[in-house]
Amino acid sequence: MAEPTVSQKSPYQIKLKAGKYFWCACGESKAQPFCDGSHKVKGEFRPVAFELTEEKTFWLCACKKTSNKPYCDGTHKNL
């Protein structure tokens, strides 16, 4: 099983509006933390869809190892 690429060792702090988003799970996207279709190269990864009902600031995982995808759970502190 392939391992995702760590895009950075700290989360992305990002203000998002209500809507549907696709979080990059492979770490290869050039549009981090969002999917740009790069997962098709590794084949084993799929983006994680999530929908927001209100505008809010979020911490999205960049190490790709969180157990609460797409949100940061602090796992990067142990890398």
In the chain, domain spans: 12-78
The pLDDT value given to residue 42: 62
SS3 of residue 7 by DSSP: coil
The pLDDT value given to residue 24: 96
The encoded tokens of residue 12 equal 């992305």
Residues 66 and 45 sit within 8 Å (Cβ to Cβ): no
Local mean pLDDT, 10-residue blocks, the chain (79 residues): 89 97 95 91 85 96 96 94
Please state whether the predicted TM-score (pTM) of the whole model is above 0.85: yes
The pLDDT value given to residue 43: 72
Buried b / exposed e over 22-51, threshold 16 CB at 10 Å, is bbbbbbbbeebbbbeebbeeeeebebbebe
